[in-house]
Amino acid sequence: MSRLSGNPIESLKEIYELLSRLKEVKRTGWLERGIREPESVADHSFNVTALSIILAEIKGLDVAEVARMAILHDLPEAVIGDLTPSQKKERIEEIREIEEEIVKSITESIPREVGEKYHEAWRKLVEDGSQEAKLVKLIDKLEMGLQAVKYIKKTGNKKLLEIYYSAVES
């Protein structure tokens, strides 16, 4: 991914375009299981962010840090698409490098002190290095499980139980 512009206004426009692409990226796991109109990555990310912020506040965690992590958690999918766990497993190192480059291009394009906070949040999220990171990862799985329940009720498709159980077990 090319670097974002150095101009803060232009960088915000470019970040907006990146975020907007998440509206067009459909969740691959749901498509593979026959959901005709699945949620987008943006839908999922909004729910993860909102739930993470609320729970962080309840638990007395760093809400700003949780918000940064939740916003970033699926942002690279605007470029690489929504890969299933098995697709990621096949190319884990390559995917991590691409994700890092995407996040780096964003964090280096905004004012330094802000960019450093976002990059540090990403690093902690990837390394699972804090209570905030653990919370966001937990909510990411929880949201997937709750969405599975919604789709099961809507479609009667019991094959979706595997996603629900994988979310609950992890």
* Domain presence at residue 156: no
Is 146 among the domain residues? no
- In a domain, residue 75? The reply is yes
Residue 37 placed within a domain: yes
How large is the average pLDDT for residues 156-161? 84
Check the CA dihedral 84-125-43-151 and report its sign. positive
The candidate with the shortest Cα–Cα distance to 32, out of 79, 73, 81, 103, is 81
DSSP structural state of residue 62: -
Greatest mean pLDDT range, 30-34, 38-42, 87-91: 38-42
79 has pLDDT over 80: yes
Highest mean pLDDT out of 24-38, 47-61, 91-105, 114-128? 47-61
Residue 161 located in a structural domain: no
Identify the weakest region by mean pLDDT among 12-16, 57-61, 133-137, 160-164.
160-164
Q: Distance between the two ends of the chain, CA-based, in angstroms?
A: 32
pLDDT of residue 90: 82
Above 60 in pLDDT, residue 99? yes
> From the centroid of its chain, how far is CA 91?
18
For residue 42, being part of any structural domain is answered with yes
Residue at 78 is within a domain: yes
Provide the number of structural domains found in the chain.
1
Residues forming beta bridges with residue 26, ordered by sequence position: 40
Q: Which domain holds residue 105?
A: 8-134
pLDDT category at 1 given cuts 50, 70, 90 is very low
pLDDT of res. 54: 99
Domain of 49, CATH number, reads: 1.10.3210.10
Report field, pTM of the whole predicted structure over 0.85: yes
Could you give the CA distance from residue 46 to residue 34 in angstroms, rounded to a whole number? 23
Q: Looking at residue 53, what is its pLDDT?
A: 99
The C-alpha torsion from 43 through 44 and 46 to 49, rounded to 10°, is 180
34 falls within a domain: yes
